[in-house]
Structure 1
């Protein structure tokens, strides 16, 4: 079984809100894909329907039938309001929800457009129409995500100028879970993108973990698998804690 997967950049109008668009098509037998947390929410067209996915706090397995096709818009961490409107992201944590429950008749119009023409442009047009009302992004959360993506080892090393309670309230409102959970998720994603020719111990230090055992625990907790399932080939011969 296999799945053809690709990503492409959003239109310039959505670049601040959208990390990427992505599409996949299942070739051969039934396909199961493990999806791991990334701090994002997705607007997904699949099997003739529109759904909202996330925000995820742990891994989940998604089954797809032979020949099935999916196209989605993946919003950046902190930009969920463009898709969810006045619905709090934490209300949809670890769920997949029919878009019609959130958008009403607007979802029906979008589904008709996506079903009769190119899906990606239809999804982007729908989100662009929402920019005047729901396009505001919390600048503090935006800056926090940038710090985590750049490799901030912990919240403690950041001087954000607000109390822990205020920070948690704003991050939950924008992302769907708190800053500590967001840090764990984005650190995992950054680790999986890193390239190193050393073993897991070296990678753990470079990625900001306490040690190799800490890295292994975090990968298992968030993905349900050992680091060897995800890390570059050079690291797979290293022992796993």
Structure 2
């Protein structure tokens, strides 16, 4: 899947981690890896079919997909037009922008128009835009309106501190000690708001940390899985390989071959000289 990322306004920055224009390319298939974020995928025209790797039953066809934190890989199929927009929200962003806790979406997906009636016309409005800047501007307006409706209803600082502590400590007990609370209190707060246990959240963060380093190393042409495993919190390369297969539903090598980044190449010298 090819993407073009863009920045968001300062008001949205605490809640919107990324905003992309995407193209699934030939075949229109994408493997959605486990995520510690809430994701929103809005196809440009054709509905998206989403299924979960390893789960029985047919996939769902949705006009716009909102997925919660999940430890399983998803398979996304988009026939016809394979373009659209893709957002990742911080776990706190679900309540602040959509008015629902991330726990309501954990481990599954829902249609955006069913989840947030106020955004029912967003897919069609995006499809009517003629350029990416127009789509980006529209998305920001809609998200800011959601922030006005839902953003100030509760103090987010304790939950934000909990996520930060879990991300920077290897053990849940150490995170609880950093926060000055019991492990039981921390577990209850995290599970109630985000739909995963603290240990599961740490597992997702560790996986995403490794994924980011795999992508960066692959683009640089210096892929050292043993070093990535060591710096990402895995016991060794074999541990990373087992976790990747368990969570992504494929080996790391298979993912790199089918959906991983490609190393950028320099333009031919002739083309460079012809440039004005």
Task: Please report the TM-score for the alignment, with normalisation by the length of structure 1.
Answer: 0.80
Q: Which residue, out of 124, 127, 148, partners 1:115?
A: 127
Q: Which residue, out of 201, 204, 226, partners 1:182?
A: 201
* Whole-Å separation in 2 of the counterparts to 1:13 and 1:41: 18
Figure out how many residues of one structure are paired with residues of the other and give that number.
Answer: 227
- Once the two structures are superposed, residues 23-73 of structure 1 have per-residue CA deviations (whole angstroms, 9 ceiling, x without a partner) of 21244x323211112211123221363332222221111112243211022
Q: Which residue, out of 24, 28, 32, partners 1:31?
A: 28
Aligned residue for 1:14, secondary structure, equals coil
- Once the two structures are superposed, residues 173-221 of structure 1 have per-residue CA deviations (whole angstroms, 9 ceiling, x without a partner) of 3323121111101111111222676854443222212233322221111
* Whole-Å separation in 2 of the counterparts to 1:39 and 1:198: 24
Unaligned runs of 5+ in 1: 234-241
Distance 1:74 1:107, change over 3 A: same
Aligned residue for 2:11, secondary structure, equals helix
Is 1:61 aligned to 2:86, yes or no? Answer: no
Contact 1:37 1:58 in 2 (8 A): yes
Is 1:166 aligned to 2:185, yes or no? Answer: yes
**If you compute each CA radius of gyration, which structure gives the higher value, 1 or 2?**
2
1:236 corresponding residue in structure 2: none
Is 1:97 aligned to 2:97, yes or no? Answer: no
Contact 1:24 1:69 in 2 (8 A): yes
Q: Which residue, out of 170, 181, 190, partners 1:153?
A: 170
Unaligned runs of 5+ in 2: 47-62, 262-276
Task: Please report the TM-score for the alignment, with normalisation by the length of structure 2.
Answer: 0.71
Contact 2:166 2:198 in 1 (8 A): no
- Once the two structures are superposed, residues 83-125 of structure 1 have per-residue CA deviations (whole angstroms, 9 ceiling, x without a partner) of 441x342332232212222222x22343443232233322221
Runs of 4+ in 1 over 6 A off after TM superposition: none
